Amino acid sequence: MKNIKIHETFFKEYSIKNTRQRSIVLDILDNSKEAKTAEEIFLLAKDIDETISLSTIYRTLTLFVEKKFLIKMSALEENLSKYALNKADHAHYLLCLKCDKRIEVGYCPLSVYEESLKETYNFNIVGHKLEIFGYCQDCQNS
C-alpha cells in the first residue's frame, strides 16, 4: 500500500474517513492502467485483505463516485460498470465490447459543440465525458 500520509491527505481533502479498506480500493485504482469492475477490484483487494467483502467494495465505490474523484463508466455488455480515478486530464475513449480495450481519443471532439450549448442554453458547463462503444481492429479481424 502507498504511504499512509498520502492517503490521509487525500481522504481529508474529500472529507472521507480513512479506513484500511478504502485505502486498499484507492491503491488498486491508482495502480490500474485500465478501468476495473467492482468484482475485479474485489478479487485484487481479497489478495491484500481476505476479510474484505464485495459489499464493502460497492459501498466504497459508491462513496468515491459521489465525491466525484471516481468515474463510473457504463459497459453495454453484461450490464457491468467499470471504475477509474477521475484524473485531472481530460480524455475521451473508444471502448471495445469484445476485449475491453480502451483507446484514448487524442483530442476533444466535443469542444465546439460544448461552446454552442453554453451559448444556446446559457449553461455553465463544468465537464463532460464521452465513451464510444464498438470493436477494435484486432477484434474485427478475429
pLDDT tens string 15-34: 889 899 999 999 998 888 78
Boundaries of every domain in the chain:
1-87, 89-142
Torsion angle of alpha carbons 133, 130, 58, 61, nearest 10°?
A: 150
What percent of the chain stands above pLDDT 70? 89
CA-to-CA distance for 95 and 87, rounded, in angstroms?
A: 18
Q: Kindly report the pTM of this predicted structure.
A: 0.62
**Residues composing the chain:** 142
Does the domain at 89-142 match CATH 2.40.10.10? Answer given as no
- What pLDDT, on a 0 to 100 scale, did the predictor assign at position 90? 67
The position carrying cell 478501468 is: 35
CATH 1.10.10.10 fits domain 1-87: yes
